[in-house]
Chain A
Amino acid sequence: MNKKLEVKDLRISFRTANGKVQAVRDISFELYENETLAIVGESGSGKSVTTRAILGISALNAIIENGEILYDGDDLLKYTENEFQKMRGDKIAMIFQDPMSSLNPIVKVGKQLTEAMLLKSRSGKKEARRDFFRILRALQSAASVGTKEKELFRIFAVTEKRATKLENVYKQARENAEEALSRVDNLLVAFEKKEATLIQRECSGILRYAGACENRFLPLFSSEEFKNILQLIKSGQREKENFTKLSELFNDQLEKPAPDFFALAFFELRSYEQTTDAFESKLSETVAAAAKDSHEMRTEKREAFCRVLRQAQENLAKEWDKGPIYALSRELSKGIKECIDPVCVEKDSTEYTFAGCIHTCCERYFLAKKKNAAELKKFEKRTKRRNKLIAKGKTPEWNVPPAATYETALLKKRMLEAISALLQFYEKEKAAPFDSQKRAESIVAYLKNKASQTTVRLNKNAAKRRAIRLLNEVGIPEPEKRYAQYPFQLSGGQRQRIVIAIALSADPDVLICDEPTTALDVTIQAQILELINKIKRERNLSVIFITHDLGVVANIADRIAVMYAGKIVEYGKSEEIFYSPAHPYTWALLSSVPDLESSGKLEAIPGTPPNMIYPPQGDAFAERNRYAMEIDFKEQPPMFRITETHYAATWLLHPLAPKVEIPQAIKDRIRRMKEGNMR
């Protein structure tokens, strides 16, 4: 499976009047394609903070101290606001907790829905064209490509664009036909119920859409039979048989597969090759050759660069001086640029983020050197003042906030780590066999995708149609009516659906759901969860689902991360978390929810989460933990591996720890669940 998103050692704090609140402390997780990762935890455990950082909408007083968020070969933490703006909604979309506050109250639902679509189609076109030609140019410039092959690329570019244009015309007509068909179906229902006004309304809609679905790729709609029926309906003969016939016609036509547009476009251009099949195989051959050349060239360059890297490693291990280190960083940034294969469409994060990482590490290091002394001085001064007060016999109400110093050693380590990671990556790449055919396939697919994006033109009407289809998809009744309403006219569940529709409107890759069902009741909650699941399957989305309710998660999550006090305490597949939980906090969460069979006293978690201005030295959960051992108060537990996919951070898993059983209530429940599943 492909990694979509990767969070590495993320650490986020908030500057407040009382001191630095450490909201997220060194968490790492990955999100794969077409999977749902649920992040579960109490409020204040840092789950929302993490996802906000992914979208670049952290609060102003947030300090991102450390870490990387890798998406599509880029580190999101290094994005500027403008770059984020391009990515939000388009690549990563978010469903917020409170639908009322995430919708604009004075803008109609329809406008809010189509806004992102229209914006994306406008900006996406330019970008897609740029990407398309960048790859084509890179292929053309690859060493062994001759003039004839270059001509081939040109033809490909023209044909592909022509083909997508044809396809768009076809799609539009087909869309109209589908719309008309759905209206006919509605009408047949109306006939059953004998509702005259509904029949009247649907009829005009059918005529409008049916008139617009004439297209040369849909021959049936220009046939005599079809036109006759339309004429009959127009002249007022609105009998049921006519519509049944119409519905059959539509169904017939829509079942036929779409023609091969690439071939059609190609023949229209009448170029020198005989068939498109031959053309395509020729193209992929050429692309493969070009990719291979390009790859070989990079391999050579990489080898040279590896030597530079090793040298740099030695230099960096010594004491750092400002001048030479900056020069080195510049040199490395330049070197890596040449090593990146431009025709490779799957961007690898290690290569792409390397330059940025090196640069920021340098900058932060020297900034830290400059600022650390001042911070320490400040800290000393405050401590002195406090001590003085205490010496006088007063008890000051304030504590001394710890000095906000950067850890220079850590930055140094990170830089060295980045270099060694890159070296490892290159070695791995070198060892792996290069499959030029596969590479060529991916490049051609990428080019086709980009070409289709350049020719898509979305006007307001089309956007409206798409929005209404989206509203239908998320299960809102009477979408045409809702389209022109304001958010406050809708009920809570409908509002949340609108928010989901907006999040989906620009076809994102990754969907972040921040407690989307907390404000809703059980039936609506179930509907929304089903909806998110369905959409995830249909659109191949990756979903991050945040909630505090473990019960909700069982339905939807593939993997679960349990967070407490800014750390991930347990991490595993959903079956593992529910059937063999390992961390006491997960136990507590599970046993504090009553299920339909539970009786007797609930196992509440005593106390409240710790104050994160002064994070506890040991395990953060120790104070509320019945199973806490001495070491829990002294040292933070590392992540212990239980199975290949299941990890938990608790000292109970240490080989020397006493054996602790899962609480009886949970054991009973798991047993019951397993029995129930057998049946």
Chain B
Amino acid sequence: MNDDILLNVENLCQYFKSGSSELKAVDNISFSVRKGEVFGLVGESGCGKTTTGRSVIRLYNITSGNIYFKGTRIAAGTRALEEEYKRARLEREHMLSRARKEGTDVTDCVRKADAELERLHEEIKAAKADNKHCNKQYAEEEIRRVRQYFSPLLTACTEEERDTLEKKYKEALRVASKERITNKIQMIFQDPIASLNPRMTVRDIIAEGLIIKGIRDKKYIDEQVYKMLDLVGLSPEHSGRYPHEFSGGQRQRIGIARAIIMQPELIIADEPISALDVSIQAQIINLINDLRNELELTVLFIAHDLSVVKYFSDRIAVMYYGKIVELAGSDELFRHPLHPYTRSLLSAIPLPDPVYEKKRKRIPYKPLLAHDYSTEPPCFREICDGHFVLCNGAEYSEYRKRIEGKA
């Protein structure tokens, strides 16, 4: 696994049952987020970008695919594997029945098929285990680490120090046993009003994560809360108030403080500014940007406002109906948009320029007209360095030509 990749999403599918049919909210997407970058996820409402964010933070049980965080598999779905398993078994039976009819010897093939079945079974088992136990394993590792740190100290220390040290050791062990890898991913929600409990004070809201983590030291918690409040630009006296006493921008700041107190490495910002006034939006963007530099955060930024995403992100993925249709560096994406949906999206951005606006022509996107996938289904291909587009062979060559013509 590459070291600087923090989050790796492989073939993620997230289906929801709706009545008798299934809604494919996220359909087989893959991307990876590098350490320290801001990864933008854009698309119209209902395209599955929020679902992706929530799947990453394990708010949903994913249907199939894998999510790796820091090289550890934190979520795995088994649907695809199970289907493959079923298919392999059916194939094996077919083969056997055919062999019986024709009387040929297929022991070799059967052995191969059995091995394949065995492999798939193991994989499914591993996925289920990872899905269930990834946090436990992480906690065990943490405990081991704590033990390793304390054992030389404990043997070396004098009789007087022993008591305090043992106390410390026990506390550390307890905290470590509650440690979860998913704590390192935190989320900032879209609606600051709906995401804050109206009956908790700001201090309780921000400290809740620490308390769940098992920290009992009141003084430490208070210290941390004040520090976070200070970081997000609120003052300590705000900690005794309730969320309704704050304006929209301040509420969003509380939401951010709640997320960063867990010392996360990855922040999923799910449209953090779309519910705010324009003048406040800039404050929040600046705040997230500052925090990102200060705390060395990686951000998965989900939004539908393209100009904000462009301003904020290093790489951008464009989603359309559960699929990533284009993924590129942000400058590259805006300079050479290839997929027709991306072009349509870019043509819809309003600019504060009346003369330009009067001339602007929106390019509508009609998937049935734009693509002909009857002969060859599309897949995700790299057009040029770091620029991926969902396309089939014919489109691929066309896009290549276009980009070479421009470059």
Contacts and interface: CB of A to CB of B under 8 A. Distances in A.
A523 B44 contact: yes
A23 B279 CA distance: 19
B181 to A, nearest CB: 33
A677 B289 CA distance: 32
A143 interface: no
Contacts of A555: 350, 354, 357-358, 360
Contacts of A263: none
Contacts of B277: 42-43, 548
B182 interface: no
Contacts of B356: 554, 673, 676-677
Given A551-B352, A604-B280, A676-B353, 10 more contacts: A521-B304, A523-B345, A555-B350, A592-B278, A594-B308, A595-B307, A595-B351, A596-B349, A604-B286, A676-B356
Contacts of A42: 277-280
A213 B347 CA distance: 42
A513 interface: no
The 4 closest A-B pairs by CB, nearest first: A592-B282, A594-B311, A526-B348, A604-B282
Contact of A604 (B45, B279, B351): B279
B354 A522 contact: no
A188 interface: no
Interface of B: 44-46, 247-250, 277-283, 285-286, 289, 304-308, 310-312, 334, 344-345, 347-358, 360, 362, 365
B308 to A, nearest CB: 6
A673 B353 CA distance: 7
Contacts of B249: 608
Contacts of A599: 311
Contact of A548 (B278, B306, B345): B278
Contacts of A574: 354
Contacts of A677: 353, 355-356
Interface string A652-679: 0000000000000000010001001100
A595 B289 CA distance: 17
B348 A592 contact: no
A513 to B, nearest CB: 15
B238 to A, nearest CB: 13
Interface in A435-469: none
B306 A604 contact: no
B374 to A, nearest CB: 13
Nearest to A601: B286
A588 B279 contact: yes
Contacts, number: 129
Interface string A8-45: 00000000000000000000000000000000001100
Contacts of B248: 43
Contacts of A578: 352-354
Contacts of B360: 555
Contacts of B306: 522, 596
A603 to B, nearest CB: 7
A592 B394 CA distance: 43
A522 B351 contact: no
Nearest to A669: B352
* B247, B279, B362 interface centre (most CB from chain A within 10 Å): B279
A493 to B, nearest CB: 8
Nearest to A666: B352
A552 B278 CA distance: 12
B328 to A, nearest CB: 15
Contact of B334 (A553, A596, A603): A596
30 contacts: A42-B278, A42-B280, A491-B46, A522-B304, A522-B305, A522-B345, A522-B348, A523-B348, A530-B362, A548-B278, A550-B278, A551-B351, A554-B352, A554-B353, A592-B281, A593-B278, A593-B281, A593-B282, A594-B308, A601-B286, A601-B289, A602-B282, A602-B311, A604-B285, A605-B283, A608-B247, A673-B355, A673-B356, A677-B353, A677-B356
A589 interface: yes
Nearest to A599: B311
Nearest to A676: B356
B46 to A, nearest CB: 7
A549 B279 CA distance: 9
A554 B286 CA distance: 25
Contact of B344 (A43, A523, A553, A604): A523
Contacts of A205: none
Nearest to A491: B46
A87 interface: no
Contacts of B247: 608
Contacts of B281: 592-593
Contacts of A548: 277-278
A603 B282 contact: yes
Contacts of A522: 44, 304-306, 345, 348-350
B345 A554 contact: no
Contacts of B45: 491-492, 520-521, 524
Given A522-B306, A548-B278, A595 B352 contact: yes
Nearest to B46: A491
A550 B354 CA distance: 10
A592 B279 contact: yes
A237 to B, nearest CB: 31
B269 to A, nearest CB: 15
Nearest to B289: A601
Nearest to A591: B282
Contact of A529 (B44, B350, B351, B365): B350
A605 B348 contact: no
A554 B278 contact: no
